[in-house]
Every structure is written in C-alpha cells, then in structure tokens.
Chain A
Amino acid sequence: MITNGYLFAAYAATWIIHIAYLGTLVRRYSRLKREIEDLKRK
C-alpha cells in the first residue's frame, strides 16, 4: 500500500495543471462559439 504524501502531491499537481489548462481551452471555445452565433445573427 502506497501512502507517500509527496508522491500523491506530485501526481495530483500534474493533473491539476493539465485539467486547469483544458479548462481554459473549454472556456475559450465557448466564448468563440458565442462570437460565431453573434456574427451569424448580425
């Protein structure tokens, strides 16, 4: 059984960084989608 706090901290930090970046991509994509809909409406 692995109970090393540093190990879990490192793995968690890795995934937090990747998920945070993916979150920014999703946010940028939704903003772009709204812009496209605005352009279509005008």
Chain B
Amino acid sequence: MKRAFPILGILTAILLSYALYLALVGAPTEQTMGDVQRIFYYHVPSAWTAFILFFANFGASVYYLIKRCPKADIVALVSAEVGVVFCTVVLVTGPIWARPVWGIWWTWDMRLTSTLVLWLIYVSYLFLRRFSSSGQTPLLAAALAVLGALCVPFVYFSIWFFRTQHPQPVMGGGGSIDPRMLHVLLINWLAFSCFAFLVCWSRYRLETLQREVDEAHAFRSLTDDPRSNR
C-alpha cells in the first residue's frame, strides 16, 4: 500500500497534465463563447467530483448511524472536507465564466443559490466537527450529513425543474455536446476523480494518525502519576 501511493500519485499527475493539455489545446473552440468556454472542463468535473464525495459522505454517515463504526466516521469527515474543496472550485470558477458570458459575476438563480446553500451546509458540518468537543459530535455530524445529502439531487436537478440562467446539463438533460468536447470533459473528470481519491487517501491516513495520537495523549494523562507533578 505504501508503494502504491507514489505510483498512483505520478500516474495522476500525468493524467492531470494530459487533461490540462486537452482542455487548453486539444478541445475545439466553442463558436459562441470562444476560449472562455474551456473553463467548463474544470468547472463541471469539479462539480461532479464534489457530488460524488458528498454522496460518499452520506453513505458513510448512514453506515456510522447504524453500526457506530469509527472508520465510517473518518470516511464521512474526509469526503466532506475534500468535497467542500471541490465545491469551492465550482463556486469560484462559475462566476469567472459568467462574467464574460452573462455580463455579471453572480445571479440569485436556483442552480447558483442551491450550490451556495449546499456549500454552506457542508462548511457548517466541518465547523461542527472542528469546534464541538462533545462525545456526541460524530453522531450529530452524521445526522446533519444525511440532511445535507438531500440537497445534492436538488442542486443537480434544479436546472430541470426551474427556469434558470445556468446552461442545461451536459448529459441526460436534452442538451447536446460535440463528441470531442465530451471526450475532453470525461478525461478531465477522470483526472480530478483520481486526484480527489489520492487527497482523500492522504487525509484518511492523517485523521487515523491524529486519532491514535489523541488516544495516546488520553492514555498518558490517565496513567501519569499525579504525585509526579508535585
């Protein structure tokens, strides 16, 4: 396992570089928007990756609520944290695309607002985990995660059910895309998914180590002879 990480890291770096090359050079230029449309190759895969991570958080939280398994709690924490990073990318790259295309940075339309709400829910989740010292924190966080996950399909389907300014979905929503663009989009998604997996793996190891150290501190404080401090 220790050897697999650097190998996967190198492969992911190569894949990300290739995906970047395809996004900037390989993909055809869109006729109406021009080069600014290429933001889509980072924006959409980041959104999909964030959704997958929030679903992983949901699955791990449900498992934790049923089995009280500490590993599931770690998976829930890690997937939410990395998911928030990817969702931040979505919220930053979206307005950078919108400014030249729509003429505005932001509008309170359903897709944009629901994505912001989703981000705020998971940031609250991380705040709860970071600042609550109660023994019930993993349980409360798992309950919040289950409610937060309900927002994910709402964000995805908001452009189907509401009239919004946001472009229609790339797949399954009646929109069409040039097959060469779709290929670049999927390669970028694969690259970002591999990157997200590696980041989650590192964060999982870090959290496991942190909990072991916390346990060692707790054990030491219990076993230390109080008279030795006098």
Q: Is the interface of A mostly helix, strand, loop or mixed?
A: helix
- The answer to whether A10 and B97 have CB atoms under 8 Å apart is yes
For A21, list chain B residues within 8 Å (CB). 82, 85, 199
Known: A3-B35, A25-B203. 16 other contacts (CB 8 A): A2-B24, A4-B36, A4-B38, A6-B39, A6-B97, A10-B96, A13-B92, A14-B42, A14-B89, A21-B82, A21-B199, A25-B199, A32-B206, A32-B210, A36-B213, A39-B217
Contacts of B88 in A (CB 8 A): 17
Residue of A nearest to B38 (CB): A7
Chain A interface size band reads 20 to 34
- 8 CB contacts below 8 A, A to B, read A10-B42, A10-B97, A17-B92, A18-B195, A21-B199, A25-B206, A32-B206, A32-B213
Q: A4-B35, A22-B199 are in contact. Are A14 and B92 (CB under 8 A)?
A: yes
**Number of A-B pairs, beta carbon distance below 8 Å:** 70
- The 9 A-B pairs with the shortest beta carbon distances in the complex, nearest first, are A4-B35, A10-B96, A10-B39, A10-B93, A21-B85, A13-B92, A2-B35, A14-B89, A14-B42
Chain B, range 32-62, C-beta contacts under 8 Å to A: 34-36, 38-39, 42-43, 46
Contact A14 B35 (CB under 8 A): no
**What residues of chain A lie closer than 8 Å to B36, measured between beta carbons?**
4, 6-7
Question: Which of B34, B43, B89, B96 makes the CB contact (< 8 A) with A9?
Answer: B96
Does chain A have a CB within 8 A of B202?
yes
Within 8 A of B (CB), among A8-41: 9-11, 13-14, 17-18, 21-22, 25, 28-29, 32, 35-36, 39
A4 vs B82: C-alpha distance in the bound complex, in angstroms?
29
